Amino acid sequence: MSPVTLPDRAWTDLTKHAFAKELMTRPGGIYPKYGAVDRDYGGSEYDAFQDIFTSAIYTNMEWGRLETAKLYIDNYFTDFVDSKGMIDMRGPETAQFGMTLSLLARYFNYSGDTSLLLKHRAKIEAMANLLADMHDESLSLPQDHAAHGLIRGWSESDSCLMEDPSLYWQAYYANSAFAARGFNDITKTWTEVGRNQPASGMEELAADWSKLGQTLRRRTVESVEKNIQRDKTPPYIGLFPGTTLTFRESLQTEKPSPQQWPHRAYAELLQADVLPAHLANLVIDCMRAYGATTVGVVANGGESTTTDARFSASFLTGTRKCCSGWTASKSSCYSSTRIAITATRAGVGRPARWQALLGTRRCTAFPRNKPFRSSHAGCWYSKILTKTGSTWPRAFHASGWCPERRSASSRPHAMGPGQLHTAGEA
């Protein structure tokens, strides 16, 4: 950990404590866990949650813990990213793919390490091509379509749990913004690494990514400018083009609302840092005026009864569910045949029966295990619904979870190499 001097020793200790707490959730000091105890969020179905990966490597890199960041990157791309660049997790978050590319470039800029990037080169390029394919799909839309040229996809992982996941398959500005940022950053890295890899094609690929990144940035800025609602004070910028309601109006009147989880879409749009200053400031003013912040901090925006209400942690006040509106679909590219299979509290039965179900730690609402394609994710990925759903960790078989297939690096052991080390201290 980089040496740090702060006015109060307690502030330094707090920082070290935060790293220690994060490591406590990682078996062996490396394996990524969203939580440590209960089904929410200690279950294996959360293990490849992109935010765990991006927040951990970002923080560790900024505090000089490059060896730890390297371990996390290696583990993630070995165990949780497939040959097509898709993550092994129930619900991918589109903007996080662009952020991942950007952070990989940051790792190279800080460390100069080419070995790790070359080891996972195929998967990194596949991840970039996944975004490029999604952009190509957007170009098939009519020229006058609001989403033409913008990447459509889920913003929040929980979208897959909703009754109709396609409702959240939107052209969130954050999707294209972070893709643009990711392409821009990884382009420079691939160009530099490629110079020492004769006939690798890396420099040529980087040139294509550079053009795509510039295209996505221009299209994002153009769409934001065009869709500013100047009839409101202050002017309002929606989460995606074509919206006429603010996100709070949508949450109150549209059931369900395609503007769920506005905090993520706004925060990622700003973090990508591709908007010119005047638009970035306009987004910030919009968030402050329309309820996307709490005491100046991005809020976990949830439904409220008044337009002035703020929920900085709305999920803490909600109820938890064992089964929530899964929809399985069989799909081929852009056409699909829905074979809807839903498991909801209402479908399971009355509360008494629900409690009895939880008491047995088993939920058999799902069909026999079989892979299927998600029509709402185009050709993105395959999922496996399992028969067992549970609030009990040992009884839950998560989507695609197969412990024996995980590498040895992901299995718990007595003392992991990711343990906390502080410069100059024992």
Residues 281 and 294 placed together within one structural domain of the fold: yes
What is the mean pLDDT of the segment spanning 273-293? 96
288 neighbors 298 (Cβ within 8 angstroms): no
Burial label, 78 (beta-carbon count in 10 A; 0-12, 13-18, 19+): middle
Question: Could you give the CA distance from residue 374 to residue 168 in angstroms, rounded to a whole number?
Answer: 13
Q: Give the tens place of pLDDT for each residue, 203-214.
A: 999 999 999 999
14: Cβ contacts below 8 Å, ≥ 6 apart: none
Global model pTM greater than 0.85: no
Q: Considering the domain boundaries, does residue 45 fall inside one?
A: no
Question: Could you give the CA distance from residue 418 to residue 74 in angstroms, rounded to a whole number?
Answer: 12
Residues 240 and 371 placed together within one structural domain of the fold: no
Residues 277 and 128 placed together within one structural domain of the fold: yes
Distances (CA, A) of 313 to 33, 130, 144, 303, 387: 20, 32, 38, 12, 31
Q: Considering the domain boundaries, does residue 253 fall inside one?
A: yes
Amino acid sitting at position 354: W
Nearest CA among 208, 181, 215, 185 for reference residue 96: 181
Residues 298 and 334 placed together within one structural domain of the fold: no
Q: What is the pLDDT confidence band of residue 302, given thresholds at 50, 70 and 90?
A: low
The CA angle 150-160-227, to the nearest 5 degrees, is 30
Does the pLDDT value for residue 156 go beyond 50?
A: yes
293: Cβ contacts below 8 Å, ≥ 6 apart: 287, 299, 310
Residues 96 and 226 placed together within one structural domain of the fold: yes
Question: Dihedral (C-alpha) 154, 160, 161, 166: value to the nearest 10 degrees?
Answer: 70
Q: Three-state SS for 22?
A: helix
Residues 279 and 194 placed together within one structural domain of the fold: yes
Specify the pLDDT at position 39.
67
Question: Could you give the CA distance from residue 412 to residue 416 in angstroms, rounded to a whole number?
Answer: 8
Q: Considering the domain boundaries, does residue 8 fall inside one?
A: no
Q: Considering the domain boundaries, does residue 416 fall inside one?
A: no
Q: Considering the domain boundaries, does residue 252 fall inside one?
A: yes
Q: What is the pLDDT confidence band of residue 198, given thresholds at 50, 70 and 90?
A: confident
- Tell me the residue range of the domain where 374 lies: 322-406
Residues 228 and 374 placed together within one structural domain of the fold: no
Structure tokens at 413: 């052991």
What is the mean pLDDT of the segment spanning 15-35? 91
- Distance separating the N- and C-terminal Cα atoms of the chain: 12
Residues 227 and 330 placed together within one structural domain of the fold: no
36: Cβ contacts below 8 Å, ≥ 6 apart: 24, 25, 42
Residues 108 and 155 placed together within one structural domain of the fold: yes
Residues 297 and 381 placed together within one structural domain of the fold: no
Q: Give the tens place of pLDDT for each residue, 357-400.
A: 333 323 322 233 333 333 333 333 333 333 332 222 232 233 33
Residues 359 and 233 placed together within one structural domain of the fold: no
Q: Which of 318, 347, 370 is the last residue of a domain?
A: 318
268: Cβ contacts below 8 Å, ≥ 6 apart: 95, 96, 99, 155, 174, 177, 178
Residues 230 and 132 placed together within one structural domain of the fold: yes
Q: Considering the domain boundaries, does residue 290 fall inside one?
A: yes
Specify the number of domains making up the chain. 2
Q: What is the pLDDT confidence band of residue 103, given thresholds at 50, 70 and 90?
A: very high
Higher pLDDT, 339 or 41: 41
Specify the pLDDT at position 423.
34
Q: Which of 302, 318, 334 is the last residue of a domain?
A: 318
* Rounded (10°) angle between helices 94-111 and 173-195: 30
Q: Three-state SS for 341?
A: coil
Q: Considering the domain boundaries, does residue 64 fall inside one?
A: no
Structure tokens at 128: 């970039």
Q: Considering the domain boundaries, does residue 69 fall inside one?
A: no
286: Cβ contacts below 8 Å, ≥ 6 apart: 234, 235, 236, 237, 292
Q: Which of 259, 286, 318 is the last residue of a domain?
A: 318
